Amino acid sequence: MLPRVRFKPIRRRINSSVLIHQSKYSSIPILEDRKTQSPLQEHDFHSHLRDICSRECKIIQSRQVIDKMPERLKLSLKTAKTVHSQSLRLGLSADGNLENSILDLYAKCGNVRYAGIVFSHLQVRDESAWNSIMNMNSRKGSFKDVVDYFLSMRCSGVVGDQFSFAMVLSACAKLMNLELGEQLHCVAMKMGLEAGNYCQGALIDMYVKCGCLEFATRIFDGAVDPDRVSWTAMISGFSHAGLTTKAIEIFEQMQELGHIPDNVLSVTILSACVGQGRLEDACRLFSQMPEPSSIAWNVMISGHVKGGFEEKAIDFFKNMVKSGIEPTRSTLGSVFCAIAAVANHKYGLQVHSWAIKKGLDTNVYAGSSLLNMYAKCQRMEAAKAVFDGLEEQNDVLWNALLGGYSQNGHAREVLELFVNMKVMGFQPDEYTYTSVLSACACLENIDIGRQVHTIIIKNEIGANLFVQNSLVDMYAKCGALFNARKLFERIKNRDNVSWNAIIVGYVQEDDEKKAFLMFRRMMIEGNIAPDEVSLASILGATANLQDLCKGRQVHCFLVKYGLENGRYAGSSLIDMYCKCGLVENATLVFSHLPEKSVVGMNALISGHAQLSLHVAVNIFKNMSCYGLKPSEVTFATLLEACSGDPNLNFGRQIHCSIVKLGLPYGDEFLAVSLLGMYMSAQRNNDAINLFSELPHPKSTVLWTVLISGNAQNDCGEEALLWYQEMRAHNALPDQATFASILRACSSLASLQDGSKIHSLVFRIGYDKDELTGSALLDMYAKCGDMESSSQVFREMISRKDVISWNSMIVGYAKNGYAERALEIFDEMRRSEVKPDEVTFLGVLTACSHAGKVSEGRVFYEEMIARYGIQPRVDHCACMVDLFGRWGFLGEAERFINNMGFQPDSMIWATYLSSCRLHGDDVRGRHAAEKLIELDPQNSSPYVLLSSIHAASGNWDGVNRVREKMIEKRVKKFAGSSKISRM
């Protein structure tokens, strides 16, 4: 028996470089730098490989190591390279299963290059290999490659499993390739794969995303136990299709069957509910979520903001913070929008402070929301501080700041910012120009508006609808309705804003006829339903005309379109009925408003104040019953109604109410209203006392009120003294100041003071302003300097309004240049400026002075027939003077008898003067008797009648007149002048 011999295994050193050179993977680099990893990573793997003995054991155990490897290592490219290089060194690469595992590692790492090389060198490609390469491309978003790989797999003889079909169907869904998806559906049915959860979910998702909800529903209804993918696909599909009710039904059915929705699905259904305005359903579903994510909170907050429930959105934000969920920049953007809508400045500051602590305030999105919030809260200084503190300033932020200043009426700041924006190198866009044009409209500065219009044309954005609408609005508000109409007609796709801009322009220029024509055109040609602004503007036109019939027609339109309960429309309705004298209807409209607002209440108070101040005050006292607090406009409306001596006591009471609320000294608007009330009641001392109590420095507006009040009260000298005091305090006059002080110069006929003020007007740059220019025209005309007046008028190129034309016509007429006055009138009509009552007063005066009786009669009839102007007493007095001055006393008498209303003392005094001029005793005695009846204590008719008797030698008549004066104790006061009192 032979002895047993123990053989030791021969250990051969294998040259790994030879194996690699001979290997088909020689193109894949070996990982040489293997730094020490944690014990659970590469070290364990290498230890296992070194302990493997037989080749078969090596292959099996290598796969086991890969399978047992933590998922985080499978997603590491470094780990994949390490595994691959070790398998090559140990000569394990020939096994197909191990190759598939290595391919899967590269695929999960997302390395397309290495995975493609491994895949291309596979000797046998089974379903696992194809699925790995398709899965990798699917995750990379290369859906077309997924389809190509699937087709190649089928051509190679591999049929694929449910995972293969699930991936290619998902690719079809992403590519919206319904045709291929349907073909794959047929193949899956033949192979019996349709019932598998993976394939079934992919089919449902494909049909949903391709818009075939009917087919998706059939597959879903036939499923025994749909998985989460199927449920999510169905709910998402119906949500995106706007069928929120069906989506909610499927969602609730899913919950009833015990499926717990994930955050993605919950957010999907919440977004669907919010998008359709079903906030109650959204709140109910949100309350059922165990731990809502930050995205879910954001959906709820933004949804309530868009739905107009800003307070509710703020409550959601507060609860989000309490629940420990960290708000994002998106959250803050929505919250700041909510705070802006409710103008809750105090809470806005709190959220801003929190954002600063979290470092979320410097972001562009959060910054623009902050700017908007402070702008809506009328805190533009804070908005500017936010803007200056941002790390990056882009076009969006510039536009937000410009828009904020524009919305708050800071027109000059808008123009300054616009210049700075261009200097800083930012390119203005349509939103920039919209704000700038709005500022030009606010200032009524058509010169700057035209310059901006030129820039818009150069930048080739004049075709933008926003810009076109803003241009129409700017020209209309500047009174250049010809230019506004010309631009309006060029707009191709007009919207409500386009029509509203031109309609509002005509209403503001008191051209109600054209406003109604444009409104009718909008309804017929534009095929656009009027909105609340359109109808409210037309209501303003009917209110101005006091046309109750048309007002009721517009009211019917409001009811037809469901706009009668709108805040703007409701207040306009109340105003219209009040101005038409139907305060009962106005009160009824207010009572039917579902939401009582301060705006509507102010309109009601204003309407009643015109008829009965007592009723208006009672309405004011009852505001608290509706839970309303009076605004500055409320007090201003009442103070305006209290203007005049009889109602001064009411005004003082309201003044006391304002003081109790602590408003007058902090609110310039109310201070101006109080000063205006005292000045209109000619209580100059009270106004001065109030003015002295106001804090320094006093604004230009406050100084202007005192100057204007004195000018209106014919206290021109006091107005000049206050103007000098204003200049001594370094307050800069504005257009209203110059208009008021120039009026004082006109009343004093002080050409020297007026010329000095004109020099200052020129230095400051207001010589191009329409209001100031008209005041200068009037001042020079009333001072008799028609040459200077004409020069100012000629310099007003394309800015002449009806006031300017009137100043020239009346000035020439009263200074004896009748022919020139009529020439100016002809020029005015050729310029398509609509004459008003004052225009025809000047024209009739010119005809009277020039003896143009027939022309005067024609102009009078034209005023009524062509321009729809009803003659006033002063027009009739001009006609009586025209007939009487030139000897047509019978015509003058017939005119008086046919006027349609009772002649007043002005008419009879004018007629009496004509009778005295032509020595007509009979008609003069009749006129004097009528005049004495109207004003028995006035000495003028007695003196004129006595002069008539004396001129005709009727001394008995003179004695009778004197006896009558003694009997009625009528005294004749001696005339005086300022010169005689000096």
Q: CB under 8 Å to 528, separation ≥6 — which residues?
A: 494, 495, 496, 499, 522
- Whether the per-residue pLDDT at 665 is higher than 70: the answer is no
Q: Is 100 part of a structural domain of the chain?
A: yes
**Digit-coded pLDDT (tens) for 494-533:** 888 999 999 999 988 888 889 889 988 888 876 778 888 8
Number of domains forming the structure of the chain? 2
Distance CA 124, CA 122 (A): 5
Measured between alpha carbons, how far is residue 328 from residues 359, 374, 518, 645 in Å? 11, 20, 48, 61
Q: Is 116 part of a structural domain of the chain?
A: yes
Q: CB under 8 Å to 945, separation ≥6 — which residues?
A: 912, 924, 925, 928, 957, 961
What confidence score (pLDDT) does residue 667 get? 58
Out of 106-115, 618-627, 941-950, the most confident range is 618-627
Measured between alpha carbons, how far is residue 906 from residues 107, 440, 463, 909, 971 in Å? 104, 44, 57, 5, 20
Comparing 707 with 213, the larger pLDDT belongs to 707
Going by the DSSP 8-state scheme, the letter that residue 23 receives in this structure is S
For 132, the enclosing helix (H) or strand (E) is: helix 127-140
Q: What is the CATH number of the domain that holds 950?
A: 1.25.40.10
End-of-domain residue from the set 124, 157, 178: 124
What confidence score (pLDDT) does residue 52 get? 38
Contact (Cβ atoms closer than 8 angstroms) between residue 346 and residue 330: no
Q: CB under 8 Å to 150, separation ≥6 — which residues?
A: 130, 134, 160, 164, 167, 168, 171
Distance CA 805, CA 815 (A): 15
Going by the DSSP 8-state scheme, the letter that residue 31 receives in this structure is -
Per-residue pLDDT band for 725 (boundaries 50, 70, 90) equals very high
Q: What is the extent of the structural domain holding 81? A: 15-31+38-124
* Listed residue (224, 256, 292) closest to 269, CA to CA: 292
- Whether the per-residue pLDDT at 2 is higher than 50: the answer is no
Centre a 10 Å sphere on the Cβ of residue 918 and count the other Cβ atoms it contains: 16
Going by the DSSP 8-state scheme, the letter that residue 380 receives in this structure is H
Q: CB under 8 Å to 37, separation ≥6 — which residues?
A: 43
What confidence score (pLDDT) does residue 453 get? 93
* Listed residue (67, 78, 68, 71) closest to 100, CA to CA: 67
Q: Is 601 part of a structural domain of the chain?
A: no
**Digit-coded pLDDT (tens) for 204-244:** 778 877 878 777 777 777 676 777 777 777 777 777 766 77
What confidence score (pLDDT) does residue 631 get? 79
- Whether the per-residue pLDDT at 289 is higher than 70: the answer is yes
End-of-domain residue from the set 94, 124, 154: 124
- Whether the per-residue pLDDT at 872 is higher than 80: the answer is yes
- The residue-averaged pLDDT of 731-753 equals 90
- Whether the per-residue pLDDT at 182 is higher than 90: the answer is no
Q: Is 911 part of a structural domain of the chain?
A: yes
* Listed residue (308, 260, 263) closest to 286, CA to CA: 263
Task: Report the interhelical angle of 837-850 vs 802-814 (nearest 10°).
Answer: 20
Residue 363 structure tokens: 């972001």
Going by the DSSP 8-state scheme, the letter that residue 887 receives in this structure is T
Contact (Cβ atoms closer than 8 angstroms) between residue 209 and residue 203: no
- The residue-averaged pLDDT of 865-887 equals 89
Q: CB under 8 Å to 701, separation ≥6 — which residues?
A: 668, 672, 736
Residue 231 structure tokens: 């449920």
Out of 221-235, 337-351, 468-482, the most confident range is 468-482
- Whether the per-residue pLDDT at 485 is higher than 90: the answer is yes
Residue 185 structure tokens: 């559906």
Percent of the chain residues past pLDDT 90, beyond the cut:
13
Q: pLDDT averaged over the chain?
A: 78
Distance CA 616, CA 619 (A): 5
**Digit-coded pLDDT (tens) for 880-892:** 999 988 889 889 9
Mapping DSSP onto H, E and C, the string for 745-800 reads: HHHHCCHHHHHHHHHHHHHHCHHHCHHHHHHHHHHHHHCCCHHHHHHHHHHCCCCC
Q: Is 516 part of a structural domain of the chain?
A: no
Please give the full DSSP string across 293-336, using - where no structure is assigned: -HHHHHHHHHHHHHTT-HHHHHHHHHHHHHTTPPP-HHHHHHHH
Out of 132-136, 219-223, 327-331, the most confident range is 327-331
Ranges 78-87, 392-401, 803-812, 847-856: which has the least confidence = 78-87
- The residue-averaged pLDDT of 969-976 equals 54
Task: List, in sequence order, the alpha helices (H) in 561-699.
Answer: 567-579, 583-592, 598-611, 613-621, 632-641, 648-661, 668-680, 684-693
What confidence score (pLDDT) does residue 121 get? 57
Q: CB under 8 Å to 946, separation ≥6 — which residues?
A: 957, 958, 961, 962
In degrees, to the nearest 5, what angle opens at C-alpha 132 toward C-alphas 126 and 133? Answer: 95
End-of-domain residue from the set 89, 108, 124: 124
Burial call 414-439: b when 16+ CB within 10 Å, e when fewer? bbebbeebeeeebebbbbbbbbbbbb
Distance CA 579, CA 231 (A): 63
Q: Is 943 part of a structural domain of the chain?
A: yes
What confidence score (pLDDT) does residue 672 get? 86
Contact (Cβ atoms closer than 8 angstroms) between residue 877 and residue 896: no
Q: Is 25 part of a structural domain of the chain?
A: yes
Residue 380 structure tokens: 């533009």
What confidence score (pLDDT) does residue 224 get? 67
Residue 699 structure tokens: 């604004």
Contact (Cβ atoms closer than 8 angstroms) between residue 523 and residue 538: no
Comparing 564 with 830, the larger pLDDT belongs to 830
Distance CA 235, CA 606 (A): 55
**Digit-coded pLDDT (tens) for 953-965:** 777 767 776 776 6
Ranges 119-123, 145-149, 514-518, 878-882: which has the least confidence = 119-123
**Digit-coded pLDDT (tens) for 41-74:** 444 444 443 443 334 444 444 444 444 444 444 4
Q: Is 825 part of a structural domain of the chain?
A: no
In degrees, to the nearest 5, what angle opens at C-alpha 88 toward C-alphas 87 and 94? Answer: 85
Q: Which residue has the tokens 């000095």?
A: 756
Contact (Cβ atoms closer than 8 angstroms) between residue 797 and residue 767: no
What confidence score (pLDDT) does residue 118 get? 65
